[in-house]
Chain A
Amino acid sequence: MYLHRGSGIQYKSVEMVNLGFNIGDLSFKNPVLTASGTFGYGAEYDDFFDVSALGGIILKGTTLEHREGNRYPRMAETPSGMLNSVGLQNRGIDYFENEIYPKVADYDTNVIVNVNGNTVEDYVALTDRINRLDKIPAIELNISCPNVKSGGMIFGTNIDSARTVIREVRSVCSKKMIVKLSPNVTDVVTFARIAEEEGADAISLINTLLGMAIDVNRMRPALSTVTGGLSGPAIRPVAVRMVWQVAKAVSLPIIGLGGISSTNDAIEFFLAGASAVQIGTYSFVDPSISISIVEGIENYLMSKGFSDIKDIVGYINK
């Protein structure tokens, strides 16, 4: 009731336009999800809006084992962006299953687990654990985290290891599998094709861009890990370009993300070829931005005379 922005909290679809999209037989009520690592486990945002009104939420990156993450400082603000090096801090799958899953299972939307590991075996074992959780309809295979010493981006930037981890996870994964790609490669299309060939159900891109900032007063790197992942509005043009490239090359549904902070930002991704979007860093600034964008997309479609979000997916290529 204190939201200043639109009528986000009272959001109700007027059902004049269809916002739904599918990954195979998995339906999403609208094409706006929240990006892993920016939305906690949903509860952090419960005070601000009805999280279940989103198309889906992608939970904080999860690993088999408890991880403390990297040392402070883990964050540095940069022009229209931020660097982070959280390092997949999470309490591991046992804690997730016992303490978090029972809570997130109550959300009336698609709750997706972002899966990480040091080794292919870790990814496979974690996927196997998530297979048993009925209320989780999909995993997002994170082969693109830049902030861990092993695993993460190392898989997502090497053609052979990317293929191996996607193939091995696919062989055990009974859920929908979204592969999250790294932008820190020469040709993102190569990795998108590998994901498609190895049986991914969808592709999400982009994860953060590897970056670095230096504190000139302390004359030290701003982050404890020296390098970190850049997110926020600064990276949006890179993300839109990569979504456009991948959309032309594969036939899988694409979930675009990277620096979306408004409805128009989100629309760019649809026009470039994304079937859905994820809202990331900007949720820190405006906790209810994601639901505002759902409403904004509906208004955009009506104002342009479209009745279905699918009508504008890849529109610039038509």
Chain B
Amino acid sequence: MKRQELLKVLENKRINDDVFMIVLGSKNQLPPMLPGQFVQVKVESGMVFLRRPFSVHDVDYAENNFSLLIQVVGEGTKAISRVVKGSMVDVIYPLGNSFSMPVDAQKPLLIGGGVGVAPIFFMAKVLTNKGFKPDILLGFRNIKSVIKYEQFIEVGKVFVTTEDGSLGVKGYVTDHPVFNSGIYDISYCCGPEPMMRAVAGICGEKGIKCEVSLENLMGCGIGACLCCVVDTVRGNVCTCTEGPVFNINQLKW
């Protein structure tokens, strides 16, 4: 069940030039959250009034908190990136569907690009806890824009690409030789849309099942405004309620 709640900012940590991690705590018991689900955060800033959606990055049920990665791209995300420890933020959550779980001995490849690594970390952690051994392919612009490399190493085998070659393989994630290994049955991807389209293409070619997490512009996040639609084999559907995770065979890409 969705809820609207004031959550306390337990931490706000700068990850790199334009990405922040905020940790939010509830005085109520957190609802179950799944990798791929997202939250809508209210913006307390002048003329910006629509909420901003963020994928759940990590959940700590023992401590009753969860974290988000906030990339500053405009006025709304800038305001959210500046929330201070101890203040309260108004959040609607959890929203949307989640990545599916692999079956039996399927070998998963997780692929994250830029701030799109947010739900990939959560998924990697859940997969590892369930006994899967995910490999993780992360793509960044350069070594300065790398997000939480050390944490990823704890939840899987990590491969990195950077556009300038300052870390890992030079190029885009789809340039990485990991795709030629032939060991993956299923992939889960979140990043900029051109990257996800390229990943969908290569997974299609190699017969790897693929799910992507979309980030369409949203008005409400709860299926009321019909703004965030994506064109699927079933017609226009809301990314916020039918997604954000879609199997690529559902998308008209």
Q: Footprint of B on A, CB under 8 Å?
A: 2-4, 37-40, 44-45, 47-48, 60, 68-69, 71-77, 79-80, 82, 84, 86, 89, 232-233, 261, 281-288
A44 and B222 contacting across the interface, CB-CB below 8 Å: yes
Interface centre among B48, B49, B217 (most CB of A within 10 A): B49
- Whole-angstrom distance between the Cβ of B233 and the nearest chain A Cβ: 13
**Given known A-B contacts A75-B219, A80-B47, A47 and B225 have beta carbons under 8 A apart:** no
Q: Which residues in B have their C-beta under 8 angstroms from that of A80?
A: 47, 49
Quick one: which of A4, A68, A86 contacts B5, CB cutoff 8 A? A4
CA A44 to CA B220, docked complex, whole Å = 10
B227's contact among A44, A74, A232, by CB below 8 Å, is which?
A74
**Contact of A75 with B217 at beta-carbon distance under 8 Å, contacts A84-B225, A89-B229 already known:** yes
Query: Which residues of A lie under 8 Å from residue B206 when comparing CB positions?
Result: none
Within 8 A of A (CB), among B201-220: 216-220
B236 within 8 A of A: yes
Contact assessment for A284 and B90 in the assembled complex, using a CB-CB cutoff below 8 Å: no
Instruction: Tell yes or no: B92 within 8 A of A by CB.
Output: yes
Q: Provide the bound-state CA to CA distance between A286 and B2, in Å.
A: 13
CB pairs A–B below 8 angstroms (30 shown): A3-B4, A4-B4, A4-B6, A37-B225, A40-B222, A44-B220, A45-B224, A47-B3, A48-B3, A72-B230, A73-B216, A74-B227, A74-B229, A75-B217, A75-B218, A75-B225, A84-B219, A84-B227, A86-B225, A89-B229, A89-B236, A233-B49, A261-B49, A283-B224, A284-B51, A284-B219, A285-B51, A286-B42, A287-B92, A287-B222
Q: Which residues of B contact A37 (CB under 8 A)?
A: 225-226
Q: Output the least CB separation between B239 and chain A (Å).
A: 9
Other A-B pairs, 10, CB within 8 Å; known A38-B224, A45-B222, A284-B51 = A2-B4, A37-B226, A45-B224, A72-B217, A72-B231, A73-B217, A89-B236, A283-B224, A287-B92, A288-B4
User: In the complex the two chains form, is B223's CB within 8 Å of A2's CB?
Assistant: no
- In the assembled complex, the CB of A265 is this many whole angstroms from the nearest CB of chain B, namely 13
Given the interface contacts A39-B224, A40-B224, does A69 sit within 8 Å of B229 by beta carbon?
yes
Instruction: Please indicate which of the listed interface residues A3, A47, A69, A285 has the most CB atoms of chain B within 10 Å of its own CB.
Output: A285
Closest chain A CB from B26 CB (angstroms)? 9
From residue A315, how far is it (CB to closest CB) to chain B in Å?
28
State in angstroms the CA–CA spacing of A281 and B225 once bound together. Answer: 9
State whether the Cβ of B228 lies closer than 8 Å to any Cβ in chain A.
yes
Interface of B is mostly: loop
- Residues in B neighbouring A281, C-beta threshold 8 A: 219
A106 to B48, CA, bound (A): 36
A285 vs B92: C-alpha distance when bound (angstroms): 9
Cα A82 to Cα B90 in complex, Å, equals 20
B6 cross-chain contacts in A, Cβ below 8 A: 4
A284 to B6 alpha-carbon distance, docked (Å): 16
Interface presence of B50 (CB below 8 A): yes
Q: How large is the interface on B (under 10, 10 to 19, 20 to 34, 35 or more residues)?
A: 20 to 34
Q: Using Cβ atoms and an 8 Å threshold, which residues of chain A touch B230?
A: 72
A37 to B220, CA, bound (A): 11
How far, in whole Å, are A89 and B227 apart by their CA atoms in the complex? 10
With A69-B236, A73-B217 known as contacts, the answer to whether A284 contacts B50 (CB < 8 A) is yes
B216 contact set on A, CB distance < 8 A: 72-73
- 1/0 contact trace for B75-103 toward A, CB 8 Å? 01000000000000010100000000000
A82–B219 touching, CB < 8 Å: yes
Complex: how many Å from CA A3 to CA B1?
Answer: 13
How distant is the Cα of A71 from the Cα of B103 in the complex, in angstroms? 35
* A77 nearest CB neighbor, chain B only: B50
B227 pairs with A47, CB closer than 8 A: no
B219 and A47 form a contact (CB under 8 A)? no
B2 CB contact (under 8 Å) in A47, A72, A261: A47
CA distance A72 to B4 in the complex (A): 27
Q: Are B229 and A72 in contact (CB under 8 A)?
A: yes
Type the 1/0 row for B114-158, where 1 means its CB is closer than 8 Å to any CB of A. 000000000000000000000000000000000000000000000
Contact between chains at A89 and B3 (CB < 8 Å): no
Nearest residue (CB) in B for A90 is: B226
CB-CB under 8 A from B1, the residues of chain A are 47
From residue B96, how far is it (CB to closest CB) to chain A in Å?
A: 13
Q: State whether B28 touches A2 (Cβ < 8 A).
A: yes
Residue of A nearest to B241 (CB): A44
Indicate whether A4 sits within 8 Å of B219 (C-beta atoms), given known contacts A68-B236, A285-B51. Answer: no
B2 cross-chain contacts in A, Cβ below 8 A: 47-48
> How many angstroms from the CA of A37 to the CA of B219 in the assembled complex?
12
Complex formed: what's the CA distance from A168 to B220 in Å? 36
Residues in B with CB closer than 8 Å to A233 are 49
Instruction: State in angstroms the CA–CA spacing of A75 and B224 once bound together.
Output: 13
